[in-house]
Structure 1
């Protein structure tokens, strides 16, 4: 019966099949790239410093791909479950007839789960080769954005076949399980008449999931300001996921109301669209759900990230006290001090480093950056407070953190093992990150510092001609004003963040849009009789199509509004977190991205609605009605 059901009603299952296929492809590609990046060996011939930098960049790529894998799995589970639920809801009359002719509840559940099992297997079979295409696209993107070397490739693993088929089958069966249980519980006469439990959209499961995830999002918003410079951003960036699930679960209550408030005109098509919004709440909620996730995920995460970046720039600007910044290779402190008009200079030489804390099985190693500084000059240039304890064989926690604020830490530099070093001080954590540890002069040999990148924050004496001082310093390295250097540094940081957001959200956003298309196509496939009845009563084909377009546009606008509310949770968490760390709340909303996402969503839903409603009304209405008699 499961095979026969799939063969007979295949238009209803196309959306579910595509959801499973794309979900398997995304999960497979992300997992293979994650493992390939984690096991990628550094190219031969690298120096010790280059090897450390390679390890640091590899760790960042692995972390980013882990986030991609998590988001891909979440989106796959969410969209597949919502698609299956909508598909089952569209067949409630057919399932009721099965119950009336003698099928038991267990048989109905087994029928639906059997269909899900077949769809999962078929979707996985199509998703495996598609996953290779997706992996090639992701690899090209990573190379183009210089996250990985040009010789990096995703490596095929034979065991991924079992994982991919298992993923497709598990996601499909899990997505259909809740819908199957509900379909089996509904009394057949209620399903035929669409009364009682069959007409109830807000089920106990929806209420519970909506309230639980709303509580989770609220908890993250409340706790984020207490997470500091590292924990606050992490919690704020996670707010959109539970907030989107909560909004999607409660959307049958809100989407019809919002849709009815939107202007649809006073004509026949507008009246019919408003009536359908209220009457077909399940269909409206199914279309809005992927949109809610799309807007919340992209706008919320991008807005929170931009807010933290802006807060970091403002914090650096307020804490940096210098007139000029000189970039050199190797320390140039004495030469800079000899330039006429220079009052002081904080020379900071950065080196890649690994930091190991704990011992034995509890040992943890992180890659990062150690910077050799003059404690007094550094404190004056960056308003960190006194660092008098930083001398001899000691270290201090830098603005980037990741080093314990007490005890000892084992530090390894390129070609030099410093061993266990006591941590005697710390500087305030920076919202934009930075160096992980500060080291005093004399601890690192001059030969190791000679080829390292160095920044010197220069303060001029009052009355000094800045242009003349800048010209003299230009013989030593690249010179810029502090404001120019901060803007350039901010541009690099923003560019990196934008690339990461594109990698993380690009495929996820495309998958969510495909989920929207699936819902509209599934809904239109079951509306042929509804469209025919409307035309029999006197409506023209153009009026029916216009009504469907107005309805989908209203649902899209409602989904965008609810997604915006979910995204606002992340922005609120970012605002309070930046205020807690920097003393001043920062909010940066990516308006161009937001408007672009909204425009694409409206364009996609409108085009899909036009195509599907035009296709559903091709035949004469009497032909469709007679076929059902």
Structure 2
């Protein structure tokens, strides 16, 4: 079993390297939170309490992003291995052993990525602290470092979140049938599993509790709670993605006539056929959009209420605060979205070869890849808008209608984040598509 585990990690290194990159990005975000907690432990008084609060808030945002990203990447990893898992069963490896192998692989790869992330992040902690705490009274002299305890905790948190996100996919790996060897083109349809229903119900209960608790609280205490609602709603949308993502994508893409462009028609159908690839790229983008849009929406809602009450316009969110609170989670989500595209490179190469063999031109291949990125980012933007809008509605519930106009500031953040995500995903899809044109389609297909 050990030999099989290591051989698979080596042979499918391209797929597993995506998980290493995601784990490293997650470790970078968690390491900042851990170093803040260590600094808080060394710092007495109100400054230490403030650092504990910042560390806790950052860990919450990072955890929301990490569970979504890790589950998406782990799910795609298992999906891309389904033929291998079917072959393992054909040679006598039982479902329980396959589940164990997958879980061990996730832990090993996640640990390697987390250690790498800690090593890369440690030298950057103090420069980051100098930037984000510059001009902050009482915090500008904070010294951040990642000690042995913080590094161990970071690796443990990343491994734990990866196991939480990948346990369901490991169970699915053990249920792969031997028929998968005969139907490479078939893509497993997403379905609402028991875990998805339980996770969705739990998130809905937490969101409801947070919204109900908004009434009667001081406006100054509402901004953090309001900014947490959109990320939690995005997690709910990800949990019920079999019910939401595909229908929404089909609905808005149907507004563009299929006859408008052959490449658009191809990209739309590829995106729906390969739902495992599409949702793995969409889900991290939904969280990214919800994080930024939710932060600006919450700040705008509270600021509008205070401006109406005092007549003083609200201040803009400091760039340092955005970097501190959202830098790590946004990095994790961005790396996750790019990694899912890179991990499916082998399947995309085969799709491109099939298209060329059927008479498609190089321009059609590249344009199809670009349109597929548009489908993914457009769907993510719509889902993210729903999450941000939920935060705006909660702001109206807590503060009144005067908060609505400024809460729409989150929509501007949605547009900017979606545009950045489009550039990222376009780069991750179009550049490899151009490079794939160098491959002989006949050799690619015969190698399969």
How does the TM-score come out when normalised to structure 2?
Answer: 0.89
**CA drift at 1:598:** 1.9
Is 1:68 aligned to 2:71, yes or no?
no
| Cα distance change on mapping 1:133 and 1:257 into 2, 3 Å | farther
Maintained 8 Å contact 1:524/1:613: no
**CA drift at 1:301:** 2.2
Residue in 1 aligned with 2:282? Answer: 288
Is 1:236 aligned to 2:57, yes or no?
no
| Cα distance change on mapping 1:593 and 1:227 into 2, 3 Å | same
**CA drift at 1:212:** 3.6
Q: How far apart are the structure 2 equivalents of 1:85 and 1:202?
A: 14
By relative contact order (CA 8 Å, sep 6+), the higher-ranking structure is 2
- Map 1:490-509; keep pairs closer than 5 Å: 490-491=314-315, 494-495=316-317, 499-509=320-330
Residue in 2 aligned with 1:312? Answer: 306
Aligned residue for 1:612, secondary structure, equals: helix
Q: How far apart are the structure 2 equivalents of 1:2 and 1:242?
A: 35
Q: How far apart are the structure 2 equivalents of 1:279 and 1:271?
A: 12
Aligned residue for 1:144, secondary structure, equals: coil
Is 1:217 aligned to 2:38, yes or no?
no
Maintained 8 Å contact 2:392/2:404: no
Maintained 8 Å contact 2:207/2:232: yes
Residue in 1 aligned with 2:348? Answer: 527
Q: How far apart are the structure 2 equivalents of 1:170 and 1:522?
A: 22
- More off after superposition, 186-195 vs 274-283: 186-195
Residue in 1 aligned with 2:337? Answer: 516
**CA drift at 1:586:** 4.2
- Map 1:555-570; keep pairs closer than 5 Å: 555-570=376-391
Greater per-residue strand proportion: 1
Residue in 2 aligned with 1:10? Answer: 13
Structure (1 or 2) with the larger CA radius of gyration: 1
Is 1:178 aligned to 2:168, yes or no?
yes
Is 1:596 aligned to 2:405, yes or no?
no
Q: How far apart are the structure 2 equivalents of 1:190 and 1:619?
A: 26
Residue in 2 aligned with 1:159? Answer: 149
Q: How far apart are the structure 2 equivalents of 1:315 and 1:174?
A: 45
- Map 1:7-86; keep pairs closer than 5 Å: 7-40=10-43, 55-56=45-46, 59-86=49-76
Aligned residue for 2:92, secondary structure, equals: coil
Aligned residue for 2:438, secondary structure, equals: coil
**CA drift at 1:112:** 0.8
| Cα distance change on mapping 1:165 and 1:38 into 2, 3 Å | closer
Maintained 8 Å contact 2:39/2:143: yes
Greater per-residue helix proportion: 2
Give the length in aligned residue pairs: 439
**CA drift at 1:539:** 0.8
| Cα distance change on mapping 1:167 and 1:531 into 2, 3 Å | same
Maintained 8 Å contact 1:308/1:586: no
Q: How far apart are the structure 2 equivalents of 1:159 and 1:228?
A: 37
Maintained 8 Å contact 1:252/1:282: no
Maintained 8 Å contact 2:220/2:302: no
Maintained 8 Å contact 1:206/1:249: yes
Q: How far apart are the structure 2 equivalents of 1:101 and 1:575?
A: 60
Q: How far apart are the structure 1 equivalents of 2:274 and 2:191?
A: 10
Is 1:273 aligned to 2:267, yes or no?
yes
Q: How far apart are the structure 2 equivalents of 1:235 and 1:212?
A: 17
- More off after superposition, 58-67 vs 523-532: 58-67
**CA drift at 1:610:** 0.6
Maintained 8 Å contact 1:141/1:503: no
Aligned residue for 1:619, secondary structure, equals: coil
Partner residue of 1:609 out of 419, 422, 429: 429
Where structure 1 has 5 or more consecutive residues not aligned to the other structure, the ranges are 42-54, 318-485
Aligned residue for 1:548, secondary structure, equals: helix
**CA drift at 1:89:** 0.8
- More off after superposition, 253-262 vs 122-131: 253-262
Residue in 2 aligned with 1:395? Answer: none
Is 1:114 aligned to 2:108, yes or no?
no
- Map 1:412-423; keep pairs closer than 5 Å: none
How does the TM-score come out when normalised to structure 1?
Answer: 0.65
Maintained 8 Å contact 1:96/1:187: yes
